[in-house]
Each structure stands twice: as C-alpha cells, then as structure tokens.
Amino acid sequence: MPSGYMNLTTEFSTEFSKEYMHMAQAQPYISPHRTIPEVTIVSILLGIVLSIVMAAANTYVGLYAGMTVSASIPAAVISMAILRGLFRRGTILENNIVQTMASTGESLAAGVIFTVPALLMVGAWQEFKFWPTTLIVLIGGILGIVFMVPMRRALIVQRKDLIYPEGVACSEVLVAGEEGGSGVRAIMLGLGIGATFKFLLAGVHLIQETVEGAVAWGRRIFYMGTDMSVMLVGVGYIVDLHIAVLITIGGAIAWLIAMPIMGGAAPGSVPLDTAWELWSTKIRYMGVGAMVVGGLYSIWNVRRGIIAGVAGLRSVRGNEGTGGATVLRTERDMPFQWLLFIFLGATFATFVFYDFLVGSMCIALVTTLVMVVTAFLFVAVATYIAGLVGSSNSPVSGMTICALLIAAGVLLALGIKGESAILATLGVAGVVCCATCTSGDVAQDLKTGVLVGATPTKQQWTEMLGALVPAFFFAPILTLLHSAYGIGTGEAGSLRAPQAALFASITEGFFGDGELPWLMVIIGLAIGIALIIVDKGLERRGSKFRAHVMPVAVGIYLPLSLDIPILIGGILRHTLGRRSAGESSHGPGVLFGSGLIAGEALMGIGLAIPMYFWPELVPDREGNALISILIFIAVVGVYAILASSRPKGSDVSLEKESHTER
C-alpha cells in the first residue's frame, strides 16, 4: 500500500524526522488565499485510469510476493509528464489529485489480496464472486476514509511530531516539477524491462521462475534458492537495506535454522518437496505468532497518540468557522453530516452484505458490530503509525490477524461454528484490512495536500471516487489471475498469496477441520518477544540498526526464495543510491524500481488474458536455469548503472521552491 513500500513495521526514526521536519513545518506551496485549478475533468479521468492500473499491478505483486508498493510517487511523475508534456497544462494541485486517486486505488489491493483469496482456500467459494468481492473492497475503502478524515486536524495538521514521510516525499516530487522528464524516462525504462522479463518468464518460458535446490543430511533438510524476479529487486531497492536485511533474517530463521532443526526427510523422499511441505504446514506459523506480537506491540506503543487523536475529533468542523467566520480553503474538510451519512450507509450495507454472505441476521448483526469497532480501532492505529514511520511500514498483517482473532473469539463465545463462522470471520477481516490499508495511504495523501496547499474536502471526495471505481475491477482481475496461474494452489508458477493462505489456515483451525500447529505459533510469539527485547537494547545503545518485529515476521512466513532478490535490491540502494541521490524518494533508482514492479506485474496480468481464453498457447516447458541467472544479472547490472546516476534537479528543495512560487 503502500509507499516506502511494504506492509511491514518499524519504529520512529529520529534521523528521518530531523531530515524532514523542516518540510513538515513549511508553509503551503500554494497559499490558502489563492485558487488555482484542482479538480478538473482531465485530473479526474487520469486519476481513475491510474488508480485502476496501480490497483491491478499491486494485486499481482501482493499475490506473488505478499507485499504491495506505493503508487503516489510514480503516479505524480506520470501525471506531470502527461498533463504538462502532452496537454501542455496542469497545476501542482491537479497533479496532487491524480496521485491521491491512484494511491487510494492501489491501497485497496493490499486489503484484497490479504483476505479475499482465503475464501477460495477454505472452500467457502469456488470462484471469486463479483458482488461480494466488490462490496468487501468498497465498504472497507469507504470506511477507511470516513474514519480517517475526522482525524486530519488532530493527527496531521496539529501534531508536528508526526512526519508522514511518504506524504512529505510525494510533496517534494510535486514541487520539484522540473524533474518530471527524467523521472518518466526512468519509470518507462523500468516498465519496459520489467514487462519484457515477465514475458520471457511466463510468456515463452525462457526464464525459470525459481532457481532452487535442497539436500538431505540424515533427516535434516538444507534449502537454498532465489526467485528470478526483477520486480522483487525493485521492491528491495525501494524499502532500503535495513528492512531487506530484517526480512532476510526472518527467512534465515525459518529456512536455515528451524528447518534443519526440525528435520523431516524420509528415506526415498524428494528433499525439495519435503522442504516446501515442512515450511507450509509448520514453520511459517512461527510468522503468525511473531506478527501477533508485532501488531499488539505497535498498538501499545502508540496508545497515547491514538487517544489524543480520537479526543481531537470534537474539533471537527464543517466549512464555516465559529460565529460564521469563513474557514480558509486549506482547512475545509468534508462536512461532518456527510461523513455520518456515508458511515451509516456503509454500516447498513455491511449488515445486508454479511446477512447475504452467511444467511443469518443474528450472525450478520454481531459481525457488523465487531467490524465497526475493530475497523475504527485499527484505522486510528494505522493513521498514527503512518505519521511515525509511513503507511508502508504499518503492521497491517498483524492488525488484520488481531481483527480475525477478535471476530473468531466473539463467534466462538456465541457458539457459532461451521462455514457460516468461517465466512463471517473472513468477511470481517477483509473489510477491516481494506479500511486499515486505505486509511494509511489517505493520511499520507492528506499530508501531501497540507504541504502543497490542496483543498482537503476536494481531496477527500476524490479519494471516495478513487475507492469506488477500482473496487469493481478486483473480482475480474482475481478471476483472470487464478485461472492463469492459480492463487494459493502451491503448484509451480502459482501466485502464493502468503497472507491469505495464513488467514485461511487460522480460520480453518478455529472453525473447520484444520488444526493449527500451536507449538509453532507459540515459538513465533517467543521470537517476537525476543526481538522486542533485542530492539530495546539496540535503542538504548543508540544503534541505527533496529530489530523490528514485523519485517522479521514477514520474512518467516515468506519463502526464502523471495527474500534473496529483495536483499539484492536493498544492497543496491545502500551501496549506489546513497552515493548518487542520497535518500531521495524520487531518485532514478526508486523510479526505475517502480517501473520494474509495474512492468512485471502488468505483463503478468496481460498474459493472464490469453492464458484464460486460450490455455493451449502456453508453452509446456521449463525455463533454463543458466539463462535465467544470466538475464537476471544483466537486469541488475542495468539497475546498478541507472541508480548510480544523479537525477537532474535533485538539489531542488521544497523550501526553496515554495519561496519561488509564493
């Protein structure tokens, strides 16, 4: 969901806050007393198109890698190129509307891929049903916006200690508009290379998806492998070395330590098959325990800020100030009565939807109440954490698991079991996850709006539109991808959907025939607690390297083969990005990586169309490992060369540009 660009968690970075504090406190780029074009037909249409494209791309990325990437910065750069290059027009506020809508559509993808495929995996659905899928996305997205908007003044405007790093970075890109040309070239080059790489992999099967192997030594299994995915290299570059290392540490704990200790190789068995079975049925559940700890710990850490933010809701106003005084354009939020009307409508729609889903008004009423309470709680948490470390670093997986456990606990306490309980639990988790993911990105977008001088009420209405339109595309996209690749099937070349697989297993463990490996979950809880203790020690020592729980937990439940290209991307960023463009969130390496991700993802969706209608066209062969490695190395080499270059205009600062405009 988002930017910086994964659903992981980190703590507040003092170094980052110092770097961006001056921008967080800067005056708006466009004065509140000026009125320039903002919501126009062109910006709305372009925002809709990019929101659909980014949502589709992130659906593929999330199902493949268990992570999503931000649309804000790529959308801002593309918007500037199209509006100013093609139409010879476009203001900074129009570009902001475009990136706001694109970001909202993209954020919904995380909520979808984390939960909806689980309904197929547990056997409750045989296909992705259009209206139920659409309603989960739409209701969750709208509630995420409705719950977050009243907190804007309290948590975004008034709290100067909340940086909202991705919102600040996007405002830099919008202000430094002269960088649009070189930025677009980097994105388009990455887009072309990423699409070509995916075509060679899935279109003609020249490249092998995963180069891997395992050996047995007695009963012990030793595995090593890497995915041939340039998309994951881009993800690693974007999230930087620190997070990439933590993810890899999680993978090492699961695959290089826990797996050999547990053993499991039987005489005559295939070591590689045994390794994957051992990980999927036992080891990855350590990640569940660690994520629960990470989610609860994050909530505890921000408890005071959440209380303060919720308390600030009483200051919510409409478009008129006290005593009839006119409120400045940059202070106008959606009228509270409209928010209340939309909330009541969404809540009623949720009740009707749950009643249709499970066929019981009693269960529907209970699950609706659980959904509203947990959604509001986790939206507040996600908004506050987004201000501290970014929406992409928010522990969405942990919070969704907590929501799932709360819903399951309530239903079990009421004696509700079976398929109805499974549908209700996953229905709650789906809506809550979409709301949580959306709220974090909305917070970043509204922070960008504060810095560039946007009109909040216009941003908020277009965010509603950015959630509405893409919602209707998720079911067809999921259907295409499932038909072409298989979602969560465990077969070679399938889209693993790791979070959805975990949520399906947890739900079946509570209500179905499945059994949770509780010992592994408990071990994961212990790992999470140990990481917190280590992290506190590192914090007291003033260490720049921190042992954050959620990235390690994500690494545990992801295949090790996904971690390796992410680590390669992180190493590239550390060794090359710092030397050339510093920590710029809009340097050529970041934009090229965004293009790689979008190119591979969109080609994956494009190839799914002929594979759906004409499956006989798919070549029946396995890619060559040596050729795969050589092509992969070549792309990484191109990435290194591009990341080493200094972006034109990179020295332009927000403050300098603001003075020029004003």
Q: Answer yes or no: is pLDDT of 577 > 70.
A: no
pLDDT band for position 652 (cuts 50, 70, 90)? very low
pLDDT at res. 659: 32
Q: Answer yes or no: is pLDDT of 189 > 60.
A: yes
Counting every residue written for the chain, the total comes to 662
| Rounded mean pLDDT, 526-555 | 90
> Rounded to an integer, what distance in angstroms lies between the CA atom of residue 142 and that of residue 315?
22
Which phi and psi (to 5°) does residue 334 adopt? Answer: -55, 135
Q: Is residue 611 part of a domain?
A: yes
pLDDT at res. 316: 52
Mind listing the pLDDT tens digit for each residue in 127-140?
Answer: 999 999 999 999 99
Q: Is residue 75 part of a domain?
A: yes
Mind listing the pLDDT tens digit for each residue in 107-122?
Answer: 898 788 888 999 998 8
pLDDT band for position 14 (cuts 50, 70, 90)? very low
Tally of structural domains, the chain = 1
Q: Using CA atoms of 350, 352, 353, 356 in order, give the dihedral in degrees to the nearest 10.
A: 160
pLDDT at res. 21: 44
> Rounded to an integer, what distance in angstroms lies between the CA atom of residue 277 and that of residue 620?
25
When mean pLDDT is compared across 283-292, 316-325, 636-645, the lowest value belongs to 316-325
Mind listing the pLDDT tens digit for each residue in 411-462?
Answer: 888 888 888 888 899 999 999 999 998 998 899 899 999 989 999 999 999 9
Collapse the DSSP code of 648 into the 3-class scheme (helix H, G, I; strand E, B; otherwise coil) and give the result.
Answer: coil
Q: Is residue 133 part of a domain?
A: yes
Q: Which residues pair with 211 in a beta bridge?
A: 226
pLDDT at res. 110: 78
- When mean pLDDT is compared over 15-24, 464-473, 586-595, 618-627, the highest value belongs to 464-473
324: region left, alpha or beta (phi > 0 left; psi from -120 to 50 alpha): left
Domain region containing 600: 14-315+329-661
Q: Answer yes or no: is pLDDT of 546 > 60.
A: yes
Percent of the chain with pLDDT over 70: 84
pLDDT band for position 6 (cuts 50, 70, 90)? very low
pLDDT at res. 160: 74
Q: Is residue 322 part of a domain?
A: no
| Rounded mean pLDDT, 249-257 | 93
pLDDT band for position 346 (cuts 50, 70, 90)? very high
Collapse the DSSP code of 70 into the 3-class scheme (helix H, G, I; strand E, B; otherwise coil) and give the result.
Answer: coil
Provide the whole-model pTM.
0.78
Q: Is residue 5 part of a domain?
A: no
**Residue whose C-alpha is closest to residue 487's, from 112, 4, 217:** 112
Q: Is residue 252 part of a domain?
A: yes
**Residue whose C-alpha is closest to residue 5's, from 62, 84, 49, 51:** 62
Mind listing the pLDDT tens digit for each residue in 20-76?
Answer: 444 444 578 888 888 888 999 999 999 999 999 889 888 988 888 776 766 777 777
Q: Answer yes or no: is pLDDT of 617 > 50.
A: yes
| Rounded mean pLDDT, 637-661 | 55
- Tell me how far the alpha carbon of residue 650 is from its chain's centroid: 27
Which phi and psi (to 5°) does residue 594 adopt? Answer: -60, -40
DSSP string computed for 336-351: HHHHHHHHHHHHHHHH
Q: Answer yes or no: is pLDDT of 166 > 80.
A: no
Mind listing the pLDDT tens digit for each residue in 283-318?
Answer: 888 988 888 888 788 778 777 766 765 665 555 544
Q: Is residue 89 part of a domain?
A: yes
pLDDT at res. 168: 77
Q: Which residues pair with 495 in a beta bridge?
A: 487
> Rounded to an integer, what distance in angstroms lies between the CA atom of residue 651 and that of residue 654?
10
pLDDT at res. 517: 87
Q: Answer yes or no: is pLDDT of 557 > 70.
A: yes
pLDDT band for position 324 (cuts 50, 70, 90)? very low
| Rounded mean pLDDT, 97-106 | 90
> Rounded to an integer, what distance in angstroms lies between the CA atom of residue 644 and that of residue 473?
38
pLDDT band for position 524 (cuts 50, 70, 90)? very high
Mind listing the pLDDT tens digit for each residue in 485-507?
Answer: 888 776 655 788 888 888 888 88
160 Cβ contact partners less than 8 Å away, ≥ 6 residues apart: 21, 24, 25
> Rounded to an integer, what distance in angstroms lies between the CA atom of residue 392 and that of residue 7?
5
Q: Is residue 452 part of a domain?
A: yes
Using alpha carbons only, give the angle 8, 229, 442 rounded to the nearest 5 degrees.
Answer: 35
Percent of the chain with pLDDT over 90: 27
pLDDT band for position 179 (cuts 50, 70, 90)? very low
